[in-house]
Chain A
């Protein structure tokens, strides 16, 4: 099973700032099978990025993904008020499929 470790646990930033979230895999993951989700309180996760860098339908271009092998990054170029939320990384290659433990982006 691939373990995904996200850092930092919490990111305290102000609106307009740049957010950089990291996810490290315990073994190499094909970038074709790597995704990021956003989750707000009381809501289901929403797919942001898949294939490491492809934005899902309707996702603003301030969200971008990068990385390969064991290290992946989600970048939010300029934080909007609605971007303060939890973010999870996810691999969906061969099962079992796993998620990271999450990074909370909070208002500083």
Chain B
């Protein structure tokens, strides 16, 4: 049973740095083909992919946010951490942690299949 859970501050001030932690179970981030990503959703708006880290430490970032994002993993703790600098009220959103694996059990490319419940982060002074 794969589960993921996001944790971090619910309120940050403009210009501050946000640090979110994803704690997962049911899989290992040292397994070949496995990745953990972050996706956000402003209130009433669409989903936006932010970043993803693979088992081999390969990292991918959204080009529009790349300069502000850092994603890291701690395989021993089954955690992935996302930091976002220079927070702005426009960054107010629910942030989701997600699991991805290159190929499903049938050998077919697989998308973000398991999601955490999300954590709402509000940016306000």
Contact of B109 among A32, A43, A46 (CB under 8 A): A32
Give B52-111 interface residues, CB cut-off 8 Å to A. 52, 60, 62-63, 96, 100, 104, 108-111
A45 to chain B, nearest CB (A): 6
A88 contacts which chain B residues (CB < 8 A)?
Answer: 46-47
B102 to chain A, nearest CB (A): 10
Quick one: given A44-B115, A99-B49, are A50 and B62 in contact (CB under 8 Å)?
no
A102:B108 contact, CB within 8 angstroms:
no
A63 at interface, CB cutoff 8 A: no
Chain A: how many interface residues by the 8 Å CB criterion?
Answer: 25
Quick one: given A56-B113, A95-B52, are A45 and B108 in contact (CB under 8 Å)?
no
Give A83-108 interface residues, CB cut-off 8 Å to B. 88, 90, 92, 95-102
A96:B63 contact, CB within 8 angstroms:
yes
Give A8-59 interface residues, CB cut-off 8 Å to B. 32-33, 35, 37, 43-47, 50-51, 54, 56
A44 contacts which chain B residues (CB < 8 A)?
Answer: 96, 115-118
A100 contacts which chain B residues (CB < 8 A)?
Answer: 46
User: How far is A50 from B96 in the complex, measured between Cα atoms in Å?
Assistant: 19
B49:A51 contact, CB within 8 angstroms:
no
Interface centre among A45, A46, A97 (most CB of B within 10 A): A97
A92 contacts which chain B residues (CB < 8 A)?
Answer: 100, 109, 111-112
A82 at interface, CB cutoff 8 A: no
A61 at interface, CB cutoff 8 A: no
Contact of A32 among B49, B52, B62, B108 (CB under 8 A): B108
B115:A97 contact, CB within 8 angstroms:
no
A93 to chain B, nearest CB (A): 8
Binding site for A on B (CB under 8 A): 46-49, 52, 60, 62-63, 96, 100, 104, 108-113, 115-118
Q: A32-B109, A51-B108, A95-B49 are in contact. List 10 more A-B contacts (CB 8 A).
A: A43-B117, A44-B115, A44-B117, A47-B111, A50-B110, A54-B108, A96-B63, A97-B49, A99-B47, A100-B46
Binding site for B on A (CB under 8 A): 1, 32-33, 35, 37, 43-47, 50-51, 54, 56, 88, 90, 92, 95-102
